[in-house]
Amino acid sequence: MRLTRKEDVSVYLYIKDTVIGPRYSEVATGESLTSVATNLWEMSYDSELGFHPFRRRVTNPDGSYTDHSGLGRGLLYFDYVGETCLFGIEQQDIVKIYDGSTLASGCKINYITGQVISSDDLSGYLVDYEWNYVSVIDSWPYEDVPALPIVCVDMQQSKKSPLQLGGGDIRDAYWNVQIFANNKGERDDLTDLIYDNLYLRRCPLYLLPSGLPLQNGLYNEMFNSSVHDTYTSLFFENVQKRLSGLPQWGFYEQERINRYRAEITFDTQTYRN
């Protein structure tokens, strides 16, 4: 994985798992498990609708519905203490599979699809879990648009400059965060939360020697959260926020995704001596 990609992933994971995740999670308790294949069980599954929270079904004004993918959502996969993310430590108590006082063990969780892999018979077992209310994605939402709210984190420019004579360099990048919300209050709260965690802050630049936290939805048991040993943390600079959106009249009334929208821009810098 090249350094630009590591910068991109580090900022994305910071906003998704450290800033938004612990503050915008939905709790589900006592949900059923349905066998959908050999050794494969699905949470909150409806055989007619094929529905669970990670693939959100939204009812349209005319009574029809639209199925949205679970892009950028899924279950919380890191452990948390309050609103502090224990980055790099797989959750142990957020997803709980039980039958009365008996806890299931040896299960693997697909944190993207909400599926459980187990060789045991989980008939009659229930599951508690937390899932991400906000869809955080790392590119502009085109055809496969998730349900609101959405936060899009995108690196748009980058460059490298010499730090001093004799060696070292500075890596600069320009970022754009687009926020799409259901209403003004949600837009303003999400904007302030992200802004406050960027202003005069920094985030680790992860080395990622064994890849990302999830592999095909399963937790990467080899995931290494060590920080880069050559470059410094990513320092956030020139953080700005602005509200945008469309007026609520005329044909704009159909543009619901853009109605309650905001933007945050910022730069990052990291140094190598």
Q: Which one-letter DSSP state was computed for residue 18?
A: I
pTM for the whole thing?
A: 0.89
Strand partners, 78: 90
Percentage of the chain lying above the pLDDT 70 cut: 86
pLDDT of residue 153 exceeding 90, the answer is yes
CB 177 within 8 A of CB 15: yes
- Residue predicted with more confidence, 164 or 50: 164
Residues 199, 239 contacting (CB under 8 angstroms):
yes
Distance (Å, rounded) from C-alpha 75 to C-alpha 202? 26
Q: What is the pLDDT of residues 238-272, one digit of tens each?
A: 999 998 766 555 555 556 788 899 999 999 999 98
Would you say residue 237 has pLDDT above 80?
Answer: yes
Residue range 105-117: mean pLDDT, rounded: 91
CA distance 45 to 48: 9
DSSP class of residue 259? Answer: H
What pLDDT score was predicted for residue 46? 56
pLDDT of residue 28: 86
User: Domains in the chain and their CATH numbers?
Assistant: 3-22+135-272 (3.30.2000.30), 25-132 (no CATH)
For range 16-38, the mean pLDDT: 91
Residue 273: per-residue pLDDT: 72
Mean pLDDT of the chain: 88
7-16, 183-192, 200-209, 240-249: least confidently modelled range: 240-249
Residue 141 contacts residue 152 (beta carbons within 8 Å)? yes
Rounded Cα–Cα distance for residues 27 and 40 (Å):
22
Question: One-letter amino acid identity for 181?
Answer: A
Report the alpha-carbon distance of residue 144 to residue 162 in Å, rounded. Answer: 40
Mean pLDDT within 134-156: 86
- DSSP string over 76-108: --EEEETTEEEEEEE-SSSSEEEETTEEP-S-E
Q: Which of 6-10, 40-44, 134-138 has the lowest mean pLDDT?
A: 40-44
Determine the pLDDT at residue 78: 97
Task: List pLDDT tens digits, range 174-199.
Answer: 999 999 999 999 999 999 999 999 99
Query: Which tokens hold the place of 269?
Result: 């810098």
What mean pLDDT is predicted for residues 103-126? 93
Check whether 143 has a pLDDT greater than 70. Answer: no
